[in-house]
Chains A and B, each alone.
Chain A
Amino acid sequence: MSMIDYDSRPVTPSVLLVGHRSSSVAYSIRDFLSRNGVPYEWIDVDDAARVEALLSAEERGMDRLPVCVLPNGVRLAPATLEGVAAGLGMVSAPSLSEYDLTIVGAGPAGLAAAVYAASEGLRTVAIEAVAPGGQAGTTSMIENYLGFPQGISGSELATRATAQARRFGAEVLLARRLMDITTDGPGYVAHLSDGTAVPSRAVLVASGVDWRRLEVPGIEALLGSGVYYGAGPSEALTCSGSRVAIIGGGNSAGQAVIRFSRYAARVTLLVRGPSLEASMSQYLISQVKELRNVEVRTSTEVVSLESDTRLRALMLSSGDTVARLPTEALFVCIGGVPRTQAAANAGLCLDKAGYLRTGAELSSSAGALDGWPLSRQPLPLETNLPGLFAAGDVRSGSIKRCAAAIGEGSMAVALVHQRLAEVGGG
């Protein structure tokens, strides 16, 4: 046995990924690998010596990048997220022809539902487009989650919850998105992006939210080249010594500030409102204020970006003044947009902001229950389709907190039992 176990690095080969830093596909693969805890080595195409050593002349062609070399030697050129996931054995087919409960999304709400449903004997499958943990999974440290006095990282919480769900028999299908939900008698069929159809007697939509896009000219072209949405766990180490800006006034932004302050030379938190108190937990505000390389600018907005091949500076507006802030990396954490496109296609009732209406909120919304077929009113967390529930950030009126989402996911399972008893066979 070795006398040194240097840094716990895996002893078997890592994934190699070669591509342009500005490639959105390469970024999505890095994000996927990072969030799923798969070690990888990123090689920028500008590193000519390494690229020449690793890739054939043909593979170096623009239309072949990004190239991914899997641990078993298989080369994907060009690589896609789905191809990498499949190549790593992370894509599995559903093992059953029908489930009691399909959960859409494996964030805190979805994972909690998976744990409770599977532990209570329901045949349970969860579908996740990227990685377990959702938005909370990218959080560097949750310090106010019950039972973890020293805090717990979002990724660790997600890893533990996924293992817990699987231990009880829940299946977690990765790297596939929900495209549509259709009815099938009293149940439903979830149609996934790879063509898989998953029939189940009840469905819980816990698909969470995407980061809200920042509306600044030219920002889309800089995605992956200095502009990132969320806290970007795959990017933290690459920010060593850099000047970083984070936009947002919520806990996600505060946690990102604390993470990046460990690596970056300077971190600037840009907040549109006049203070942090209205939107950020006090413990985070206190920590942020104590960080010597962090500056908080309130009542400030980004009005334009300065770039060449990547981000170089932000132009900031504050009152009547405009200032230039040299910045190598910008992380946007300005709240969420609900992931409800597939649910909307299925006829689910949304509020004005696009969140799923449930329970009593449906009863008080004119026309929301026009097609409701049952004599009873919708259960709490039940949408306007019987047996189709919503929980967590995607639900209208939900408290946007990890613990609240977990509570809703757990509660939804009790309601699923009621529904299954209603349709029989449960």
Chain B
Amino acid sequence: MVGDVDAAPATGLTGDPSRPSKEAEAEFSRVASRDQIRAAAGALERNGITCTVVDSAEEARKTVRSILPVGAEVYNNTSRTLEAIGVAEDIERSGQYQPLRPRLYQMDRQMQGREMRQLSASPDWVVGSVHAVTEEGSLLIASASGSQLGPIVSGAGHVIFVVGGQKIVADFNTGLRRIYEYCFPLEDRRARKAYGVPSGVNNLLVINKVVAPGRITAILVNEPLGF
């Protein structure tokens, strides 16, 4: 969101921060086994997160469509996953929903800053992804400014995550390593190229349990999507 331009470099990094190590690449880019995916899905459900496991990107796209009500106000987080499987296009271009991104982008930042903060803080629906899902049923999301996190925690009415099968990890510590050693270098390179600014693991959200069952839905895809 607005203000992300001040993102500071991440802390706690070792080695060349511009790319993941070969070991990290090998560990965190392969799709988890079906048993691991099944375990994660079961744990998520026990933690109050509705979970659906699908086999393909196309199936994931259809699942998102089936969940989002026609006419819903939707904020799609920037996500390689959503772009790759066509969900971003569905939200922004299909005419089926009220997409917030084009609306916010057109607003006058000088005159309408408050309206922009209000709109982006409390969308009816947020669609995005996460950086790691543990087999214990936790979701891990890192953010440079934290702007995406508030709506996910409580601002948005409903949240849908589409998660590639390579993001499933054994536990919290492995999830953290995935973020620092794998996601961050790739994300930092993307941000510098796309926006000319660095990224950073400046804010970290861990969702262990949801007190309003059904508010968050995770769609686990048995394919690698995004990073």
Contacts and interface: CB of A to CB of B under 8 A. Distances in A.
Interface of A: 1-12, 34, 37-39, 71, 89, 140-141, 150, 152-153, 155-156, 159, 163, 166-167, 233, 236, 258-259, 262-263
Nearest to A36: B106
Given A1-B79, A6-B197, A141-B112, 19 more contacts: A3-B7, A3-B143, A3-B187, A3-B200, A3-B201, A4-B7, A4-B143, A5-B1, A5-B4, A7-B1, A8-B1, A8-B105, A10-B105, A11-B78, A11-B83, A37-B103, A38-B106, A140-B112, A156-B112
Nearest to B196: A6
Interface stretch (B47-55, B89-97, B207-215): B89-97
Contacts of A152: 115
Contacts of A259: 108, 110-111
Given A150-B114, A263-B110, A3 B104 contact: no
Interface residues of B, number: 62
A153 B108 CA distance: 9
B62 interface: no
Contacts of B105: 7-10, 39
- Cβ-closest 5 pairs across A and B: A8-B104, A1-B129, A2-B78, A262-B110, A6-B195
Contact of B131 (A1, A5, A10, A236): A1
A39 B98 contact: no
Nearest to A156: B115
B83 to A, nearest CB: 6
Given A156-B112, A156-B115, A4 B197 contact: yes
Nearest to B91: A12
Nearest to A34: B106
B116 to A, nearest CB: 8
| Interface-centre pick from A8, A9, A141, A155 (highest chain B CB count, 10 A) | A8
Nearest to B141: A1
A263 B71 CA distance: 35
B77 A3 contact: no
Given A1-B129, A3-B144, A11 B76 contact: yes
B28 interface: no
Nearest to A258: B111
A6 B147 CA distance: 10
Nearest to A8: B104
Nearest to A159: B103
Interface in B100-130: 100-108, 110-112, 114-116, 120, 128-130
A1 B130 contact: yes
Contacts of A34: 106
A38 B102 contact: yes
Contacts of B95: 89
